[in-house]
Structure 1
């Protein structure tokens, strides 16, 4: 019987090919048409039971969806770039999610593994010292780049699928592999949770590579993600000649400016860390026109769900008050959200035990607080925990060419086989888990 290490080693050339293909054809959130068709095809060939698109994404729970024209344009481009026609209808309209299930036929828990597939809205570096550019796999799609490692995550998910199917006779219970769209902007996980994809999961693991964790280190339970809400705020006033009849106008720019200043005063909370940021203010059409429109792009964050919810509700009141002050209309659109959720210690300890036993990591860390960012896998973790299950978020350290969300981002591909090895080990050795559920 071939050992796990041999199964992983045999797939190294395929892992690199997959990763570089995904990187070259980067697709941002809700637009992962080509990526999703390739993932579906590989999983189908391996023999997984597939649920696709609307089966795993609740349409009404999606956030930050591109408009219909963009969805159609990007779907057409994906087909031109080699998306597989036999699969693309499942993902049409931006429903680019996949859940692959392996039923072993032997009793055991349902284990869920989640990876994300989307790129960022960013132009990739064309500098000669940027390895993807030099090696010919930099993004060919303007304004879209895998600058956070999700091409690696997708590859890890496919590699895990391949290894587990090859070792199916050594598994028990059920394996669910969740390929999520639109993590950037924390837009996609909530819709998959609303569709029930983790309702039967007993033990859940989400992953990330990099994030400042040193190469060779694995963090078995990353926590301290901030709950967050992402808002687009539209103010609509009345235009008027700024010199001739300014009194006939209703100034949307001033309402937006008033709201911006007031929003940045909402960061005090006895419950802990709170954040508000207005990252964009766009308004007006000309210097001699009373501005009749304005847009704010806002985010709130909180160390707990309650803190963030409180700040969010205060933000809504501030926005309404600013609109009333200047006699303009306001409309708030929720563009993204994530929860604050900590890993369950028994599952973290099991991951730690298995990582230690493998002997492939320079350092195995039980728990480490995350920098003050957000991650929407917390919706899945929260749902699993609500049902009494176990959940964790694992970070695999690796060398990075530049920081996340940087035009020169790249990662050492050697992290992928190590990640697959640990995740496969969790599935193979799940009978050794002694905690609850």
Structure 2
């Protein structure tokens, strides 16, 4: 019996998990009810559980019947501060909070994977760590989990994660060698001028005018400082300044984000940004302060781990269910912290069907996800974990006698 068949047998249970989690979403590092739900299910299936890891994280460990390597499987649990507008029967009951990025899917899939593999742990060669992570949307949860020691005791040799992807049909798997998501850096700028009466601008240094020039100048970073073949995005998302229409303020504050997929470029960006911002302000008799914070590195998938998912999907689902993604996403994923420590791969799980709202992008208040993709995610996770632990066995490793 294949893992696809086994996942179909518990399909209703997995859907039940997903709907419960979707109805009770929790924000980053506030996943108390979610973590309790996850830990209780793991314990029900006699999986060793560690609660309250890095605050609200949960780690389960399945010890195989034979010694061997350790593979980690990761799911993120947090939701977004979005008011849900899907009209699903199991819509969010928490006002202003929604699972609009599919983390309820990810968590439910890993729970289903845990249930299946725990029933056959005596036949496993090696160990499986189940990492249920908080705070991915803050891009800090993975780092906190690593600092808490989740990659040790036993030491983890490789790691796998998946992410819902409305751009692909339900059940199709997308992979990519090299970078699959971008680095995310935060930018805070304070522009200082000289305040005064709006009728006498010549006696002032207007930080609002300077801010306008800075925003325009920052767009030349991508067009003139970076090779056209190197994807990058510079976005200013917030500007605060001024108190009245007839007053030139003394300062203006801008906030933004920088996305890059090249690690070397990520290192260069702080100097480029500070030079453009400060020199622009200086040219107009103002001053500028720049605070540049690197949040997460680009997620670069290990070639060997990509090949593992390729082989698993081709053998388990058929070659027509595997897609190599041409371009990386300029969105970010803190799974990159794990992949910087050990070989890792994140694969995309297609989640759209004939429903129009299943094609809405991630972080949209109306997006839904096709539940028929849940069992595909479970089957691929199970097969990939077992095949990693038993690399010398033939394709379609069957741990069930």
Decide: shared fold, TM above 0.5. Answer: yes
The residue number in structure 2 matching 1:23 is 22
Which residue of structure 2 lines up, in the alignment, with residue 308 of structure 1?
Answer: 266
* 2:316 is equivalent to residue 393 of structure 1: no
Distance 1:99 1:134, change over 3 A: closer
Could you tell me how far apart the structure 1 residues matched to 2:263 and 2:49 are? 33
TM-fit CA distance, 1:208? 1.0
Aligned to 1:224: 179
Q: Tell me how far 1:361 sits from its aligned partner.
A: 7.6
| Equivalent pair of 2:70/2:128 in contact (CA under 8 Å) | yes
Q: Which residue of 2 aligns with 1:34?
A: 33
* Partner deviation per Cα, 1:337-390 (whole Å, 9 max, x = no partner): 23241x223332232222232247852246654344332212211210xxxxx3
Task: Give the superposition deviation at 1:107.
Answer: 1.0
Contact 1:226-1:304 within 8 A present in 2 as well: no
Residues 80, 137 of structure 2: 8 Å contact kept: yes
Query: Which residue in the other structure is 1:113 paired with?
Result: 73
Does the residue aligned with 1:405 lie in a helix, a strand or coil? coil
| Aligned-partner SS, 1:27 | coil
Going from structure 1 to structure 2, the CA distance change for 1:416 and 1:216 (only over 3 Å counts) comes to closer
| Gap regions ≥5 residues in structure 1 | 58-94, 385-389
Does the alignment pair 1:181 with 2:134?
yes
SS of aligned partner of 1:397: strand
Give the aligned partner of residue 85 of structure 1: none
Offset, 1:222: 5.8
| Residue 314 (structure 1) shift | 1.5
Question: In 1, distance between residues paired with 2:203 and 2:30?
Answer: 43
The whole-number CA distance in structure 2 between the counterparts of 1:363 and 1:9 is: 17
For residues 25-424 of structure 1, the aligned pairs below 5 Å read: 25-53=24-52, 55=53, 57=54, 95-125=55-85, 130=86, 133-135=87-89, 137-184=90-137, 186-198=139-151, 200-221=155-176, 223-235=178-190, 237=192, 240-243=195-198, 251-267=206-222, 268-270=225-227, 272-321=230-279, 327=286, 330=289, 332=291, 334=293, 336-341=295-300, 343-359=301-317, 362-365=320-323, 369-384=327-342, 390-399=343-352, 400-424=358-382
Distance change (3 Å), C-alpha of 1:181 and 1:222: farther
Q: Is the 8 A contact 2:211 2:252 kept in 1?
A: yes
Higher relative contact order (CA 8 A, sep 6+): 2
Gapped runs of 5+ residues in structure 2? 353-357, 394-401
Describe the SS at the equivalent of 1:108. Answer: strand
Q: Work out the CA distance in 2 between the residues paired with 1:246 and 1:99.
A: 60
Question: Is the Cα–Cα contact under 8 Å of residues 310 and 322 in structure 2 kept in the other structure?
Answer: yes
- Residues 284 and 294 in structure 1, CA contact (< 8 A), matched pair in contact too: yes
Larger strand proportion, structure 1 or 2? Answer: 2
Partner of 1:11 in structure 2? 10
Give the 3 Å change call, closer, same or farther, for CA 205–109 of structure 1 in structure 2: same
Cα deviation per residue 1:21-51 (whole Å; 9 max; x = unaligned)? 2112222323323222222222233333333
Distance 1:34 1:222 in 2: 36
Seen in structure 2, the aligned counterparts of structure 1 residues 243 and 272 have a Cα distance that, compared at 3 Å, is: closer
Q: Count matched residues.
A: 382
CA shift, 1:397, in A, is 1.5
Deviates more, 1:215-224 or 1:147-156: 215-224
Whole-Å separation in 1 of the counterparts to 2:231 and 2:9: 47
Identify which range, 207-216 or 408-417, moves more after superposition. Answer: 207-216
CA distance in 2: counterparts of 1:228 and 1:284, whole angstroms:
32
Q: Name the CA shift for 1:159/1:279 in 2 (closer, same or farther; >3 Å).
A: same
